[in-house]
Amino acid sequence: MTISKIFGSVRLGEGKKDNSNVIREILSTTPKLIRVVDIGGQNPEDMNTSDALQIAFDRHLDLVIINPEVTPPICKMIDLKKRSYALRKNALEARKKQKSVDVKEVKLRPVIDEHDYQIKVKAIIGFLKQGCKVKISLKFRGREIAHQDIGYDLFNRIKEQVVDFSKVDYEPKLEGKQMTMILSSK
């Protein structure tokens, strides 16, 4: 349901200032006769705009134009506070259901020992099983940058070991003195 125009809040008190000027201004631009639908979507009946506003005021509801193109315009009595609360609650539920993808980073060096390498590969596999993306960084120091082939060999070896759990999002690439690759779970 799209709300195209609100007749102004008819609830006064509750910390709201008197907005009768707004109501009068809107009433001057709207037709005298409107079709009002009750809260449950039942009992559509034609009535004067001022009578509809008075009924909405008595019921502590807001009068909203649903379809202004038809003659007479269709209005509905709703509680805007409850509606905005429901919309906020639905948005919160949708945000909770969204899956956020974490990016975990594993840092390596080109002169890594075999046991340390195996531990890093197990960590990468664990992150991939959790559904995280894994950024693998290989940092070169000093003259190690002259041996970039060691870095590419290390990344190819990692790709072969985790091929069952991952796909490569970002191929190994050298940026400055650091080589990076990004993997994501299948």
Q: What integer is the mean pLDDT of 53-81? A: 82
Which segment of 31-35, 137-141, 143-147, 171-175 scores lowest on mean pLDDT?
31-35
Q: Above 60 in pLDDT, residue 145?
A: yes
Could you give the CA distance from residue 27 to residue 86 in angstroms, rounded to a whole number?
A: 28
Residue range 65-84: average pLDDT? 82
Q: Which residue has the higher pLDDT, 51 or 106?
A: 106
Task: Please provide the CATH number assigned to the domain covering 5-95.
Answer: 3.10.20.80
More confident residue, 45 or 145: 145
Output the CA angle 53-55-60, nearest 5 degrees.
Answer: 90
Q: Amino acid letter at 178?
A: Q
Three-state secondary structure call for residue 68: coil
Q: CA-to-CA distance for 14 and 76, rounded, in angstroms?
A: 22
pLDDT of residue 29: 57
Mean pLDDT, the chain, whole residue set: 81
Smallest Cα–Cα separation from 64: which of 47, 76, 52, 80? 76
Q: Which residue has the higher pLDDT, 53 or 142?
A: 142
* φ/ψ bin of 107: left (φ > 0), alpha (ψ from -120 to 50), beta (otherwise): beta
Task: Tell whether the model's pLDDT for residue 138 goes beyond 90.
Answer: yes
Q: Which residue has the higher pLDDT, 41 or 158?
A: 158
As a whole number of angstroms, the distance between CA 96 and CA 89 comes to 11
- Residue 11 has a pLDDT of 42
Checking if the pLDDT of 28 tops 60, the result is no
**74 within 8 A of 45, measured Cβ to Cβ:** no
The band of 112, judged by pLDDT with boundaries at 50, 70 and 90, is very high
**DSSP per position, 142-177:** GGGGG-HHHHHHHHHHHHHHTTTTEEEEEEEEEETT
The pLDDT value recorded for residue 30 is: 61
Domain 103-185 has CATH 3.30.110.10: yes
pLDDT at 104: 94
Question: Structural domain boundaries of the chain?
Answer: 5-95, 103-185
57 vs 120: which has the higher pLDDT: 120
The Cβ-side half-sphere exposure at 178, using a 13 Å CA radius, reads 8
